[in-house]
Amino acid sequence: MFEQHTVIYGIGVSPGTASAEAVKVLPAPGVDADEPASTDPAADSERIRAAMAAVTASLKQQAETAGPKARPILEATAQLASDRALAKAADKKLTAGAGVTRAVHEAVEDYATILSNLGGYMAERVTDLYDVRDRTICELRGLPKPGVPTIDEPSVLLAEDLAPADTVGLDPQLVVGIITAAGGPTSHTAILAAQLGIPAVVRAEGVMDVPEGTLVALDGGAGEVIVRPSDEEVDEMRRRTERRQAALAESTGPGRTADGYPVSLLANIGTAEDGAAATARDVEGTGLFRTEFLFLDHANAPTLEEQTETYSRVLEAFGTRRVVVRTLDAGADKPLAFANLGEEDNPALGRRGLRLSQAREDLLDTQLDALAAAFEATDRRADLRVMAPMVATMEEARWFADKARARQLPHVGIMIEVPAAAISAKQLLDVVDFASIGTNDLSQYTMAADRMQGALSELLSPWQPAVLTMIRTACRGGDATGKPIGVCGEAGGDPLLALVLVGLGVSSLSMAPSKIPAVRAALHMHDRATCQQMAAYAVDALTAADAKAAVAALANPKLEALL
């Protein structure tokens, strides 16, 4: 398969084109389920030691050529891979009858528990320990190395799907494109790729069968992947990007419709570095700072000082531009090691977001204290707004607002991402200052379709008339109170859908910075009355496809070149 030129269509989730050789992210191997119990622990112990030695050697070798960021991590991991106590712990498991891969797995698990309990720096090493486990098991099973490989040359990353933690250290200079077989438009692979400005296509079926090292080209806007492209195709893709960029360069400045109705165009960010990068672009501020992204790889809760420093950096970078900070939205698709309330059967319906903050009030209190301190450090000049994720009831909204206001935080808001909040938007907005619609989760919960399940992407489409009706309901609640409602889910970054959202009444759109130019240009081409007409047609449509077709029919034909 894929020995010849092949075109695959997936879902484009981060615009731009790229072509380079493929490198693969392989899943962690796990214990060999068919492995017999150890009958010769001494010989098996030798095998494990040899595997650990091979892992150590390969990590050291990688460290020698790695860049300054990766080198210390690889060296520290190499040290763990040569840890005698770990080998001895595995021996004990062998004597107790475990096979080689199970022995390694169980020994590492025991070790990880000890490190976690020690806390601090030691607990931070658990991720490296799991890396050693996976590499050693691969060595024992004769499988290629798992995880994101160390990349030295510009490459296109191929993966089944990427976990949020996998994407933390990706360097956009080296990872020039991402293609996944699974995932959907609101999965975190998609969000992070767009955040980093890396062209990406998800749901490209069969892409993991493309051999490592094969030349691949992708168009993250159109969702097109070409395996073994011709030189002409690579050139054509490049020209496509150039044409699009030239068209986009024509519109600059604040977001507004053709007749001047203002719609703030804001950037979604996940780190202080994202924030600094966003301020260099033509954006009016940040409409969603996903603070949980700061801590995806932390074993311990971040301290007050650590958080104050980060938030201060972001506020300083944005000056007097708007900064909407969302308090920790941990749980479900974004698990945090230090905010784990234990296994749940349905994590997306469980104690996540604000519910988790209610169970771990200490985490929220520290975060709000840090935000208040960072705000004071700007002499209260920053345009800081804080909002809570996953709010469902008025009591929750009030509970959060009371806490934020007790710290003199100036603007307090909520996210509307649960249908209950959309339906009760008026009551909720009565106790806060603003709301932001999270269309990713609002689609998931309206349609009862797991956003991590790429196979359900049609149900998850924010073009679904039921989702649009839910958004309209929320906007009507906003109108009734006169308080502003924005959108910060992925829907806001779709130029056509952005017009519908404006027609429904939202006054700001927040998205990955790379998506802002096309949305700005789309707004400039249409007046508000057309947006309202588009919204009315879309909400009344019978299907998602009809909704999109009805809106496209009303759109300026020049918009096509921007998509």
CB 386 → ligand PEP: shortest distance, Å?
15
Q: Is the Cβ of residue 134 or residue 417 nearer to Mg ion in the bound state? A: 417
Element (H, E) at 59: helix 41-65
Contact 125, 337 (CB under 8 A): no
The contacts found for 51-57 with CB under 8 angstroms, 24 or more apart, are: 51/104, 51/136, 51/139, 51/140, 52/81, 52/82, 52/86, 52/87, 52/132, 52/136, 53/82, 54/139, 55/81, 55/132, 55/135, 55/136, 55/139, 56/81, 56/82
CB 37 → ligand PEP: shortest distance, Å?
44
Per-residue binding string, Mg ion, 421-460, x by CB under 5 A, is: -----------------x--x-------------------
Does 41 contact Mg ion by CB under 5 A? no
CB 333 → Mg ion: shortest distance, Å?
9
Judging by beta carbons within 10 Å of its beta carbon (0-12, 13-18, 19+), is residue 448 exposed, middle or buried?
Answer: exposed
Please confirm, yes or no, whether 488 is among the known catalytic residues. Answer: yes
CB 374 → Mg ion: shortest distance, Å?
23
By beta-carbon distance, which residue lies closest to Mg ion?
441
Do the annotations mark residue 351 as ligand-binding? no
Binding partner of 439, given Mg ion, ligand PEP, none, CB within 5-8 angstroms per partner class: ligand PEP
Task: Give CA torsion, residues 199, 249, 524, 285, to 10 deg.
Answer: 70
Do the annotations mark residue 440 as ligand-binding? yes
Residues 6+ apart with CB under 8 A from 30: 101, 105, 137
Q: Is the Cβ of residue 132 or residue 265 nearer to ligand PEP in the bound state? A: 265
Instruction: List 19's β-bridge partners, or say none.
Output: 217
Phi-psi region of 38 (alpha: psi -120 to 50; beta: other; left: phi over 0): beta
CB 288 → ligand PEP: shortest distance, Å?
6
Q: What angle do CA 350, 352, 355 make, to 5 degrees?
A: 95
Active-site residue, selected from the candidate residues 105, 138, 475, 488: 488
Task: Give CA torsion, residues 399, 400, 406, 409, to 10 deg.
Answer: -160
Compute CA distances 322 → 406, 501, 508, whole Å.
21, 20, 11
CB 12 → ligand PEP: shortest distance, Å?
18
CB 415 → ligand PEP: shortest distance, Å?
7
Instruction: List 561's β-bridge partners, or say none.
Output: none
Q: Is the Cβ of residue 12 or residue 353 nearer to ligand PEP in the bound state? A: 353
Residues 6+ apart with CB under 8 A from 249: 517
CB 14 → Mg ion: shortest distance, Å?
18
Do the annotations mark residue 203 as ligand-binding? no
Terminal CA-to-CA distance of the chain, rounded, Å? Answer: 31
Stretch that binds Mg ion, among 129-137, 372-380, 394-402, 413-421 (CB under 5 A): 413-421
d(Cα 164, Cα 145) in Å, to the nearest integer? Answer: 19
Does 462 contact Mg ion by CB under 5 A? no
Q: Are strands 411-416 and 434-437 parallel, antiparallel or unpaired?
A: parallel
Active-site residue, selected from the candidate residues 188, 475, 526, 531: 188
Stretch that binds Mg ion, among 58-66, 118-126, 342-350, 409-417 (CB under 5 A): 409-417
Binding region for ligand PEP (CB under 6 A): 191, 288, 290, 329, 417, 438-441, 488-489
Binding partner of 161, given Mg ion, ligand PEP, none, CB within 5-8 angstroms per partner class: none
CB 186 → ligand PEP: shortest distance, Å?
6
d(Cα 325, Cα 371) in Å, to the nearest integer? Answer: 9
Q: Is the Cβ of residue 219 or residue 417 nearer to ligand PEP in the bound state? A: 417
Binding partner of 166, given ligand PEP, Mg ion, none, CB within 5-8 angstroms per partner class: none
Instruction: List 510's β-bridge partners, or say none.
Output: 266
Structure tokens at 63: 């460290």
Q: Are strands 383-388 and 411-416 parallel, antiparallel or unpaired?
A: parallel
How many residues are recorded in the chain? Answer: 563
Does 417 contact Mg ion by CB under 5 A? yes
Binding partner of 489, given Mg ion, ligand PEP, none, CB within 5-8 angstroms per partner class: ligand PEP
Q: Is the Cβ of residue 210 or residue 432 nearer to ligand PEP in the bound state? A: 432
Q: Is the Cβ of residue 422 or residue 488 nearer to ligand PEP in the bound state? A: 488
Binding partner of 255, given Mg ion, ligand PEP, none, CB within 5-8 angstroms per partner class: none
Do the annotations mark residue 441 as ligand-binding? yes
d(Cα 303, Cα 366) in Å, to the nearest integer? Answer: 8
Instruction: List 436's β-bridge partners, or say none.
Output: 415, 486
Binding partner of 146, given ligand PEP, Mg ion, none, CB within 5-8 angstroms per partner class: none
Compute CA distances 142 → 91, 160, 384, 481, whole Å.
20, 20, 53, 63
Q: Is the Cβ of residue 441 or residue 490 nearer to Mg ion in the bound state? A: 441
Please confirm, yes or no, whether 188 is among the known catalytic residues. Answer: yes
Which residue's entry shows tokens 């496509």?
240
Q: Is the Cβ of residue 139 or residue 441 nearer to Mg ion in the bound state? A: 441
Binding partner of 285, given Mg ion, ligand PEP, none, CB within 5-8 angstroms per partner class: none
Q: Is the Cβ of residue 417 or residue 494 nearer to Mg ion in the bound state? A: 417
In 3-state terms, what secondary structure has residue 449? coil
Annotated binding residues for Mg(2+), as ranges? 417, 441
Annotated binding residues for phosphoenolpyruvate, as ranges? 290, 326, 440-441, 451
The residues that touch Mg ion, with contacts defined as CB under 5 A, are: 417, 438, 441
Annotated binding residues, as ranges? 290, 326, 417, 440-441, 451
Active site residues: 188, 488
